[in-house]
A and B are shown apart, each in its own frame.
Chain A
């Protein structure tokens, strides 16, 4: 019984990595170009989950659709796609937090950036790492008071 479970789990794991490879999980510890370390990433939803955080009392009522990463030279470059699935205008603020390879903070805390999203609209936020030390990041979003 136990062995069966183990085999099943392994199969699922293999299947998932297989999927990942198809989607272009080019090297270990990376998904969609983004550093994920040991995180188990099956699809975009998982990536969004581990790479983003909602802070503050009033959370932003928007959906994070995609996070994609690449590098220019030795700097990490990030695209975040936000989707406001409601018809109301949403005002939010966001920032990125940067970590180095060891998970230590790689740069000063960024300032909050205000963003207006119309109803039923998508918006892509682009940013670049402040320095080459910054190897990992979190996207932080908060509703505007």
Chain B
């Protein structure tokens, strides 16, 4: 006789029913306890809406849209005469920890791949650059096979900007608005060649 047959024949007593309920509850608890966090690889370009703080999609959109705008609108770049540009700091005026260098780095990579722009060493990297030049200038290096001092090329244009945010929240809604402003200035003349703003609005209903 199989187990099922035996159990079908047995009349469920109140105790066995209670035991069943307890077992069920326990197994649910066990299953719930065992269902640990699952980790998988995802799409890096996926639209991310986990929270409404500055996220990967915002970073990707802002940098992509900005570099496209620069490629089409900025006369110095759209003209195709391969200007040399340096990136200055993009000021973070939001209350969030946004690494604006991540935005400019992404833009820089996109612009460089378009082969319309070249980049000169920026302020943040200057120390490393001059340090290496000084190192190669020492007596250990063959003069003709090492980088010479005084040969660096200065940028003709500089990119600068800022990111601001406006956060409004009530008990039910949190609304965040980001605006990235960038401008491209001719260093020699001081004339602003291009500027643009890109904005993002995100709303979370609680």
Are A111 and B115 in contact (CB-based, < 8 A)? no
Are A73 and B113 in contact (CB-based, < 8 A)? no
Are B45 and A111 in contact (CB-based, < 8 A)? yes
Interface residues of A in 71-85 (CB under 8 A from B): 72-75, 77
Q: How large is the interface on B (under 10, 10 to 19, 20 to 34, 35 or more residues)?
A: 20 to 34
Q: Which residue of B lies closest to A93 (CB)?
A: B47
Q: Given A95-B45, A111-B57, decide whether A130 and B72 contact each other with a Cβ distance below 8 A.
A: no
Interface residues of B in 39-57 (CB under 8 A from A): 43-47, 56-57
Our pick among A72, A93, A132 for the contact of B72 (Cβ within 8 Å) is: A72
In angstroms, Cα B114 to Cα A93, docked, is 24
In angstroms, Cα B115 to Cα A131, docked, is 7
> How near does chain B come to A117, taking the closest CB pair, in angstroms?
14
- List of B residues within 8 angstroms of A112 by Cβ: 43, 45-47, 57
Are A75 and B47 in contact (CB-based, < 8 A)? no
In angstroms, Cα B43 to Cα A74, docked, is 31
Report how many residues on chain A are interfacial, defined by Cβ distance under 8 Å.
Answer: 21
Our pick among B44, B68, B113 for the contact of A127 (Cβ within 8 Å) is: B68
Interface string of B14-36 (1 = CB under 8 A from A): 00000000000000000000000
Q: Does A52 reach chain B (CB closer than 8 Å)?
A: no
Interface residues of A in 120-145 (CB under 8 A from B): 126-128, 130-132, 144
Our pick among A110, A114, A131 for the contact of B64 (Cβ within 8 Å) is: A110
Q: Which residue of B lies closest to A116 (CB)?
A: B201
Taking Cβ atoms with an 8 Å cutoff, the residues of B that contact A are 43-47, 56-57, 60-61, 64, 68, 71-72, 78-80, 110, 113-116
A to B CB contacts below 8 Å, 26 in the list: A72-B71, A73-B79, A74-B80, A75-B71, A75-B114, A77-B72, A95-B45, A107-B113, A109-B45, A111-B44, A111-B45, A111-B57, A111-B64, A112-B46, A113-B47, A113-B57, A113-B60, A114-B47, A126-B68, A127-B68, A128-B68, A128-B72, A131-B113, A131-B114, A131-B115, A144-B47
Please name 17 further chain A to chain B contacts, defined as beta carbons within 8 Å, in addition to the given A126-B68, A130-B110, sorted by A numbering.
Answer: A72-B72, A73-B78, A75-B71, A93-B47, A95-B45, A109-B45, A112-B43, A112-B45, A112-B46, A113-B57, A113-B64, A127-B68, A128-B68, A130-B114, A131-B115, A132-B114, A144-B47
